[in-house]
Structures are given as structure tokens and as C-alpha cells.
Amino acid sequence: MAEQHFNLVFLGGGSGGYVGAIRAAQLGLSVAVIEKDKLGGTCLHRGCIPSKAYLESAHVYTQFQHRDAFGLTAENVGYDFGKINEYRKKVVDENWKGVQFLMRKNKITVIEGEGKISGQGQIAVQTADGQQRVTYDNLAIATGTRPRTLGIQVDGKRVFTSDNVWDAPEMPKSVIILGGGVIGAEFASFYNAFGVECTIVEMLGGLIPMMDEEVGKELQKLYTRRGIKVITGARAITDSVRSDDSGVTMDVEVNGERQTLQADQLLLAAAREGTTGGLGLETLGVELDRGFVTVGANNRTNVQNVFAVGDIAGGLGLAHKAYAEGILVAETIAGKNQLTAIDRNRIPQPVFSFPQVAAIGLTEKEARESGANVKTGKFPYTANARAKIVNEPVGFVKVVSDGDSGDVIGVHMIGPSVTEFIAEAALGKFLEATPWELAYNIHPHPTLSEALGEAAHAAEGEGALHI
């Protein structure tokens, strides 16, 4: 059995694993990444990147549908689902090659195989060529998550998860989406853009329930206007799911009444669970909480030289959160860290729905429940010149601040391209900005970002200044 030793081993080569490995190598550590599938993980191959490629195709197609508004004409505008998939695969492959290049450039050892902790400081890796033993000074668990199926049989023909929906052979005529969170909202936008009849089933009281309630209500209103059926406060009766050559049916219960839904396909988008099985965590006594690895300061587990990063460490399931945690662990081990934790309230939360949603910090409800002296300011995109130019004057920006400290404690956006400039609010949160500072930051005109400045003015008790 071959054996190699490293200062740091990442068990999992997804967002947190590969970025953390690169940072560790830059800091002079000997690093290995053990990956049983493909470098880049869920985000690159089954999540962020392919879904946004799908959504970009849908966005361009939607622009074609509204070409009259721009004074343009075109004949026989249509789509080819096979070519949409080719575009999606091209985007994924190009990014995958980029990750592989970075690993080679930084001289990181990539071990393709399934790793299992076999003892203190030891991992047994089952590779295509046999078993290899890896020893380490430090270990970072970065195995990510997988979709929860809720006991529903996923057949890859009529019933899909967000992991295998890419294998669907054709665009359905109708789809039931179980889950109205980020994944469900994004796929609903994609399908609706191409004329697919969509029904979203959400257990809680509104869409994207983890985000600001007012934003969720606005998104639901706009979805309903576009013909997307949204059923909230619904209990999915999972053992009622039936699929055959004619489609799929599922019963839901709303306000005590049972109803049957029918469509070509069912997409399970309700939740994800930690990938911990078979890792040998029990060998070291690594603590878990509801299937996720428990971490404290510097993303350490209860075992001194074992860390966890990304989705497996719980919290927001976002690639950029995983990036930040991977970097934190690498810098901690190298003795170069300036942070001891990644503050959840400064992690941007983007949703690439139509319209887009983005947020940072506390929702208005969370802020009030925290006891803050809450002040809010809003600015609608109906009054923004750039939103009118791009023919998307919908949504708003809301700034939430603490009247006592003066700090901005939350920013919530729904509208065109808001996922791009939420970064300004994130930087403001990081630097403990006040609404006055956001308002008096000079925003270029005409841009969508001006709405943030105007909302900040409103939080200061001022009226709108311009369009």
C-alpha cells in the first residue's frame, strides 16, 4: 500500500476543498485533495454553474420575447433544448479545466478515490488502482451535501433532484417543484421562461422563506402574474407520489384539504443533507449535529487537528461561504489568519430567479426580534432609470439599520441584476457602514446600483433625489 504524508488534507474537492487547498499551497503547506468524483463538486457540476447557465439561456430567450419593447424584430424565435444543454456542458467543462489547471499550478496532490478515516492522522483511499494510505498533520472535511429525497423514489425519468435533473432528455410541458426556496425559485424561472407550466409547492408561508418576508411576497406576486402557480403552507404527502409513462402525480394538503397535482415531471428541491456516511468520522469521535459537522472558532471540530468547511459545516449552503471557510482554515493552520470565523451576517445571499433576489445581514423581522431600534428605507425600481432602460422596472431595494448604533444591519433586494451589486452592501456591512455612508457613496448614473443609495437615503429619513 502506497503512503504519502501532507501538512493538510482536504477530504472533498468541492468549493471549500479546492479553494482552501490553493490558499494552503500558496502559504507553503504540503496539501492533498481527496475527491471521489470531480474537482469543483456540486457547485461546479450539479449546482451553481450549470443552473446559472440554464438561467442565462432563459434570460436571453425572454429578452427575445420582449424584443418589441426595444424596437427590434425577429422571425421564428425558438429554442433547442439539446443546444441549451450543450451550452451548459461547455460552461461547466471550461470551468472544470480551470480548476484542474489551478491545482497543477499550485502543485497540489489530487488523489482520485474514496477516502475514509482509518485512524488518528490516517486516511485510507480506495482508488481505481487499489488502496492508498494518506497521513496528515491536519484534516479538513469538505464533503458537501446531497439532495434529500424525503422517501420519494427518484427515477431519473419523471422524478428528479437538482443533482440529476441535467439528465432529463427533454423540456417538460409541465413540472411540479417541491420546495420554494432558492433552488425551487430558480428552476421555476427557468421553466416558466420556456413556457413550461410550473407549480411550486412550499411547506412554509411564502417563497424563499429564509429571506426577508417582504421580498418573498414580491417574488410570489410577480411569479403569479407570470403564470407560475405557487402553493404555500402545503404538506406534501410523499407516499402519494406515483410516476409512469404518462407523468407524475402527487397529493398535497393545504388548510386540511387534500388535492392531487399532476405534471410531466417532479423536481425535488426541498432540502439538502450532509454527506457524512462512510467517512469514518466516528473513528476520531467528530461531533455531528443533525447530520452536519459541528464547528467552532476557525472552523475547528471538537477534534483538535480536524476542521470542516463548506456545506458540511452547516449554515448557508453557498459556494462563496465555502470559499471563505476553506481560506480561513488554510490561513489558520499556516498561522496567517486575521479572522477566527466567517460572520453569517456578511455572507451575500443571491437568488438568480427572474427577477433576481439578493440579501446581506438580518431580515427586518430578525432585526426587530433582536431588539434593535429598526429603521428601514425602500426604493422601487419603477423609479430607477436603468431599470426602465433594460425593461425590468420591478422590485425594490430595502435597507435595514439600527437607529441606536447607526449601523446597516441588513440589505434586501429584488430586481434586475441585484446579485451583482449586493457586493457593495456586503463591503459596507464588513466595514460597519451607516446608511449615510451608503447614501453618500457616489453611484454612477444611470445604473441599477443607484437604488441602493436611494434606499439608504430613505433609511436616513430623506426622500428620493432622482430617477
Distance CA 188, CA 200 (A): 8
Active-site annotation, residues: 445
Distance CA 173, CA 304 (A): 53
Reply yes or no: is the peptide bond before residue 355 cis, omega within 30 of 0.
yes
CB distance 88 to 53 below 8 Å:
yes
* Residue 28 per-residue DSSP state: T
* Residue 300 per-residue DSSP state: B
Distance CA 448, CA 68 (A): 22
Residue by residue, DSSP assigns 395-427 as -EEEEEEETTT--EEEEEEEETTHHHHHHHHHH
Distance CA 359, CA 308 (A): 25
CA 21 to each of CA 25, 116, 143, 274, 393: distance values in angstroms, whole numbers, following the listed order = 6, 19, 14, 21, 43
